[in-house]
Amino acid sequence: MNMKPQLLWMGLLPVLAYGGGTTTDDPSVQRGRKLAETRCAVCHGGHRRYKRVQNYPSLNGQKANYLEKQLLEYKSGKRDNAVMRSLVINLSDQDIKDVSLWYSLQPLVNK
């Protein structure tokens, strides 16, 4: 049995749903954008008003489930970083999903 067409279709769904941009009205993306603007972009950039601090990791275009995993690990202390831990400790799992989704949809910038 060949699963490839189905897998390809599943991979395309988010692209179709979000159009690859951030103009979507999807409520999760909207919440994620607000969180990112107010709590993350000052260090990580991703928003035109903010430039990423040099040597801080770039989150744009990173896989949402990778970002989500890192954030959950900061929250639990499994990944040890005092700055990030203090920032995610008050985020709900849904906040973490939303902000990860938003960053995953931002265009990659090579700077």
Q: ∠96-61-28 over CA atoms, to 5°?
A: 35
Restricting to residues 80-109, name those near ligand HEC by CB under 6 A: 81, 83-84, 87, 99
Q: Of 12 and 89, which CB lies nearer to ligand HEC in the complex structure?
A: 89
**Residue 39 found at the interface with ligand HEC (CB under 6 A):** yes
**Residue 29 found at the interface with ligand HEC (CB under 6 A):** no
Distance between start and end Cα atoms, the chain: 44
Residues at the interface with ligand HEC (CB under 6 A): 35, 39-40, 42-44, 56-57, 59, 67, 70-71, 81, 83-84, 87, 99
